[in-house]
Every structure is written in C-alpha cells, then in structure tokens.
C-alpha cells in the first residue's frame, strides 16, 4: 500500500541516498491497485481491486475548507482521526509533479451513502410492505419487518456503535493515550467483549447471543467477531467517525503510488525483484531474489511485504536463534492474522441503478446474500447514465469472501449477477450486463490467492497487538525492520502503510547514526508539510524498547 515508496521519499528528502526499493512486480503500489478495463482513461472503465476510498476529516476549526494545512490550526487539524497524512502527501506530490500532467492526483468525492438513501437493504428474505426491497432507513424505522428472532434487541445497531464509540473520544483527544487505553481490551475478541463486558446489564441475558449474531451479520462480516475487539474499534473509528467526508482519486487510486515515480523510479526502484531469502552476513544482511543466485548485501533491510509472503522465505539465522525475541518474531510471522477480501466487478451497458424512482448514485446496498455489499461507483457523477460503466457487484470480507474461492471467475460473476437481480428487480440485467473485454482478462480479485499478498490486510486476533506485533517491533538491535500496514494501528488503510514508513525511516536513521538527517528532515519545509499530521510520531513510545 505504498510503504516502500513513502519510506523512499522520506530517505531521499532526509539526504540518505544510498538505498534501493526492491519491488517484486513490474508495478508500484501493492494493494493500491486499479484494474483498467479500457486503455482510454476518459472511458472510466476501471475498478479498484485494492484501496478505493480515503476518509478525510473535516477539521473542527476549518470545517474541511482548507487543503492539507490550515492556518487556523497551524498545520494541526483537530479531529483528524489519523488519516490526514495521506492528504498531506497527495498535496506534496502534486506540488513536486506540477509540470507532469500524467502524475497529477485529482481528488473527487467518494459517495459513502447515496444522498437519497435508496441503497437496498435485503436481509432474512424480507421486503417492505409494498413488497419492494427495503432501504436501510426503512429497516431502521421498521425493525419488526426485518425478520429477526424475538431475542435480537431492536437497538442492536446502536448498541454496537456505542460499544465501539466509547473509545473514540480518547483517541481523538490524545492518540497515544487512546491507544494505550484501547489496548487494555486487546485480549478480547469482539464476541467476548460484547458478551462478557458490554451487553450484560444492558439487555436480557438470554438475548445476548442472537443480538451479537445480528450485529455481526449487518454491521460486520461473517466470522469477524472472533477477531480482536481492538480491530473493531479502530474500524469503527474510521468508518463511523462523525464530521468526515470520503474521497477517491479521479481515474483510479493507482495514480497515488504512480505519483512517486518521477522522484524515485530512476534512482531507486528496482522492478521484478521477487525476494525469497534473507541471510545474515556479519552485521549485514544478504537479500536474494529470483533469477539472481548471488543476491545483494545491505546494511539495513526494511521488510514491507505482508507476513504471508515473508512466511515462505528462507529467513536469516537471526530469526532462528533461541532468544525470546526471535521466538516472538517467528510466531508473529506465522500467526498474525490476515483477513480475506474479494471484489467482483461487472460491466453494464448503462448505469441502470441511477435511473428510475429509487435511483442510487454512489453509496452501497447491503444484504445477507452471498454478494453482501454492492458499491455503486462515485466516479461517473455528471456523466450520461447511458454510457458503459463498471459496478463493484460484490465486496466481501472474512468468511463471506472465502466462499468465492473455490469457484471460477465466470461462476462467481454468474452468482453475483443473480444476486444483483434480486436487489434490482426493476432492471433488466440480462439485457444490461456485458462481459468484460476478454482481452483484458479477469474482473475479480480474491486477495488471499495473490502471491504478492497472501491475504487482503492484517486483521488481528485477540492479544496479537500486545503479545506479538508490539514485541516484534521493539527490537532495536536488529538491522531487519518491519513495516507495512500490518505493523500500524490502522490496518487495511493507506495511512497504516505511511505511518509505518515514518517509523522505520526514523529507526534506520537512528541505528545508522544519522540522527542529524532525521532532524533535518523534520525541520525541512518538505518534512514539515509531510509529517506535521503524522500521528505515529506522537505515540512511538508504544514500541520503544524499555
């Protein structure tokens, strides 16, 4: 998700120039991956296989009116819930790429909820009183129509939101303290926290389990409640945050990593370096990649790959020693949990969903059918609805995603279309649907099957932050450094990747006696612009060695 690129940019700005970025593929960006179904960018026939939306807080002071920095708050947007550095980076990249049109990043709105609130809501096979598919609003106002058993509390959605949001104020006020406080509950799964801590006393004991099941069904994904409660809170901290808007990048998120290329490509990026082995050599590390038997020696190595990839590598002796630190690192590489995610894109002759009485522009539909979530594209706003368009017909996580895994692309598209017909009986989908250009191949992705990621994004189980990740990051004696979204508190977001890059750049500069370069970076104009809202810098003592 661009960890390596951001670290590279920071090293370059700090004045440390003797490094290489080993990119395993022939493209930068990792899980920032736009799939283009047409070579003509103006056709907008693309889908976001990876990251697709950027949460942007409206600052309490400037109410979102300013760009990256706001004079009223002296560069420190209040209430930024952590993601501001992504926008600061985009601003910076646009500035340095001012004369390179191809690399310009234009932010456009990502419509999270459609303005008319017509996104369909279809659970338990229930329809509204006119036999139409419901909307979420209708369901909220007519709980009984939803068809849940008697033992599901009618306030189940609010209860879930409240369980998470109790932690938001502390996180807003002081991220360092907020995280420490949250970590007191790291040992709980979402399920055990709700069952043992939160719900008792609030609803009758005999209603607890069905209520939790309903929460997982409509507010999360199948099987996710067995994972850490801390993850659900952080998830909610981004998704439920008040006072925010959502953005995406015009013509595709891929333009974000690509915008680093004018600065980094020629000097530092080595493509097609598929690493398979690290070896200690004296106090250095030799890195091997496919097609080169000798490998290359480095003083310091930053590993940004997902741990499912690292798991298959031959690892250095360092990690094989019997010390507790090495034991923990080996456990972390094997155990830290990654979530599944699948996305299925369909091409239609027109944007049928934007027409008719219950038209939907942007936003989503939500269902317990296998497709679970439909995301209606925001990037056609203003274009004629008669033009061909790409729809994210199914976005799934966890067990919902895994259930697509055994079937072919064709079969999954067929199922997706069938479910879409249920949600949109008003449209003639057989007539509207068109196969994606076979020349351009697949139109779906199941992230656990990708050899470069082996999973979608980190989503830890109970105690994994406390017992594994934070301990793994603590070792300042090693010249192998761990970065990537999985090493930050914001899993599954670009900001997690960027935060982790800041952490390792500091780590490496400190270890190599280049503290002055780190300070130069912090004091430079570029450094200030990029890092003034970096929340990680406020809480790095969480993993400092005691």
Q: Which residues would be at the binding site for ligand PHE (CB under 6 A)?
A: 53, 235, 397, 492-493
Tokens 């976005």 correspond to 395
Q: Decide whether 139 or 253 has the Cβ nearer to ligand PHE.
A: 253
- List, in order, residues 6 or more apart from 17 with CB less than 8 Å away: 11, 267
Q: What is the nearest approach in angstroms of ligand PHE to the Cβ of residue 375?
A: 9
Q: What is the nearest approach in angstroms of ligand PHE to the Cβ of residue 416?
A: 18
Torsion of CA 269, 306, 310, 506, to 10 degrees: 60
Task: Report whether 82 contacts 495 (CB < 8 A).
Answer: yes
Q: What is the nearest approach in angstroms of ligand PHE to the Cβ of residue 533?
A: 19
Q: Decide whether 49 or 121 has the Cβ nearer to ligand PHE.
A: 49
Q: Decide whether 103 or 397 has the Cβ nearer to ligand PHE.
A: 397
Q: Decide whether 172 or 235 has the Cβ nearer to ligand PHE.
A: 235
Task: Report whether 492 contacts 337 (CB < 8 A).
Answer: no
Count the helices and strands in the chain (H runs, E runs).
21, 22
What CA–CA distance (Å, rounded) separates 515 from 536?
A: 18
Q: Decide whether 110 or 268 has the Cβ nearer to ligand PHE.
A: 110
Q: What is the nearest approach in angstroms of ligand PHE to the Cβ of residue 222?
A: 13
Q: What is the nearest approach in angstroms of ligand PHE to the Cβ of residue 327?
A: 30
Q: What is the nearest approach in angstroms of ligand PHE to the Cβ of residue 364?
A: 10
Instruction: Give the gyration radius of the chain's Cα atoms.
Output: 24
Q: Decide whether 397 or 518 has the Cβ nearer to ligand PHE.
A: 397
E-strand stretches of 190-274: 244-249, 269-270
Q: Decide whether 480 or 495 has the Cβ nearer to ligand PHE.
A: 495
Q: What is the nearest approach in angstroms of ligand PHE to the Cβ of residue 389?
A: 20
Q: What is the nearest approach in angstroms of ligand PHE to the Cβ of residue 427?
A: 26
Q: Which is it for the CA torsion 145, 148, 152, 157, positive or negative?
A: negative
Q: What is the nearest approach in angstroms of ligand PHE to the Cβ of residue 372?
A: 12
Half-sphere exposure of 197 (CA within 13 A, CB side): 17
Q: Closest residue (Cβ) to ligand PHE?
A: 492
Q: Which is it for the CA torsion 374, 380, 382, 384, positive or negative?
A: negative
What CA–CA distance (Å, rounded) separates 35 from 252?
A: 8
Q: What is the nearest approach in angstroms of ligand PHE to the Cβ of residue 158?
A: 20
Q: How far apart are the first and last CA of the chain?
A: 30
Q: Decide whether 172 or 219 has the Cβ nearer to ligand PHE.
A: 219
Q: Decide whether 301 or 459 has the Cβ nearer to ligand PHE.
A: 459
Q: Decide whether 319 or 456 has the Cβ nearer to ligand PHE.
A: 456
Burial 60-71 (b: 16+ CB within 10 A, else e): ebbeeeeebbbe
Q: Which helix (H) or strand (E) holds 535?
A: none
Q: Decide whether 198 or 460 has the Cβ nearer to ligand PHE.
A: 460
Task: Report whether 225 contacts 189 (CB < 8 A).
Answer: yes
Q: What is the nearest approach in angstroms of ligand PHE to the Cβ of residue 254?
A: 16
Tokens 């130069």 correspond to 520
Q: Decide whether 483 or 508 has the Cβ nearer to ligand PHE.
A: 483
**SS3 call for 318:** helix
Q: Decide whether 97 or 364 has the Cβ nearer to ligand PHE.
A: 364
The two structure tokens encoding residue 19: 């490094």
Burial 293-332 (b: 16+ CB within 10 A, else e): eebeebebbbbbbbbbbbeebebbebbeeeeebbebbbeb
- List, in order, residues 6 or more apart from 541 with CB less than 8 Å away: 176
What CA–CA distance (Å, rounded) separates 542 from 545?
A: 9
Determine what percent of the chain falls in helix, strand and coil, rounding each to the nearest 5: 40, 15, 40
E-strand stretches of 321-404: 338-339, 341-348, 364-367, 373-375, 389-397
Q: What is the nearest approach in angstroms of ligand PHE to the Cβ of residue 279?
A: 35
Q: Decide whether 127 or 250 has the Cβ nearer to ligand PHE.
A: 250
What CA–CA distance (Å, rounded) separates 322 from 309?
A: 23
Q: What is the nearest approach in angstroms of ligand PHE to the Cβ of residue 325?
A: 30
Q: What is the nearest approach in angstroms of ligand PHE to the Cβ of residue 369?
A: 19
């Amino acid at each position: 998700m661009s960890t390596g690129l951001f670290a590279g940019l920071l090293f370059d700005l700090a004045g440390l120039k003797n490094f290489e970025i080993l990119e395993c593929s022939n493209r930068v960006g990792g899980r920032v991956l736009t799939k283009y179904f047409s070579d003509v960018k103006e056709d907008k026939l693309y889908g976001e296989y990876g990251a697709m939306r950027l949460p942007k807080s409206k600052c309490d002071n400037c109410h979102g009116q300013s760009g990256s920095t706001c004079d009223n708050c002296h560069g420190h947007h209040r209430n930024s819930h952590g993601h501001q550095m992504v926008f600061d980076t985009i601003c910076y990249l646009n500035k340095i790429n001012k004369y390179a049109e191809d690399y310009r990043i234009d932010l456009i709105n990502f419509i999270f909820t459609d303005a008319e609130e017509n996104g369909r809501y279809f659970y338990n096979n229930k329809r509204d009183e006119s036999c139409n598919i419901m909307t979420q609003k209708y369901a909220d106002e007519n709980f009984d129509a939803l068809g849940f058993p008697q033992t599901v509390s009618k306030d189940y959605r609010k209860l879930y939101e409240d369980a998470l949001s109790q932690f938001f104020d502390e996180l807003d006020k002081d991220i360092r303290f907020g995280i420490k406080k949250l970590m007191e509950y790291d040992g709980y799964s979402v399920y055990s926290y709700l069952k043992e801590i939160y719900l008792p006393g609030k609803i009758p004991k005999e209603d607890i389990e069905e209520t939790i099941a309903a929460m997982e069904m409509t507010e999360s994904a199948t099987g996710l409640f067995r994972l850490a409660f801390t993850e659900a809170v952080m998830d909610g901290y981004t998704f439920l945050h008040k006072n925010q808007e959502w953005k995406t990048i015009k013509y595709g998120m891929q333009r974000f990593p690509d915008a680093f290329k004018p600065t980094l490509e020629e000097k530092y990026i080595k493509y097609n370096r598929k690493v398979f082995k690290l070896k200690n050599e004296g106090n250095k590390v030799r890195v091997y990649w496919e097609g080169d038997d000798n490998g290359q020696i480095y003083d310091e190595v930053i590993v940004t790959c997902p741990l499912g990839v690292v798991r298959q590598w031959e690892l250095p002796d360092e990690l094989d020693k019997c010390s507790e630190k090495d034991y923990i690192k080996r456990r972390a590489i094997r155990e830290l949990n990654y979530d599944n995610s699948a996305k299925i894109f369909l091409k239609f002759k027109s944007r049928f969903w934007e027409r008719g009485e219950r038209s939907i522009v942007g936003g989503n539909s939500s269902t317990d059918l296998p497709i679970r979530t439909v995301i209606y594209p925001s990037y056609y706003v203003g274009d004629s609805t008669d033009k061909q368009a790409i729809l994210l017909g199914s976005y799934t996580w966890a067990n919902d995603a895994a259930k697509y895994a055994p079937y072919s692309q064709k079969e999954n598209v067929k199922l997706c279309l069938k479910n879409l017909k249920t949600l949109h009986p008003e449209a003639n989908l057989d007539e509207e649907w068109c196969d994606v250009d076979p020349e351009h191949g697949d139109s779906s992705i199941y992230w656990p099957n990708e050899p470069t990621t082996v999973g979608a994004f980190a989503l830890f189980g109970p105690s994994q932050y406390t017992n594994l990740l934070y301990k793994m990051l603590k070792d300042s004696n090693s010249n192998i450094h761990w970065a990537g979204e999985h090493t930050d508190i914001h899993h599954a977001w670009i900001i997690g990747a960027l935060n982790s890059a800041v952490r390792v750049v500091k780590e490496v500069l400190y270890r190599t006696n280049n503290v002055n370069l780190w300070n130069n970076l912090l004091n430079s104009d570029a450094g200030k612009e990029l890092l003034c809202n970096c929340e990680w810098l406020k809480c790095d003592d969480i993993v400092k060695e005691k």
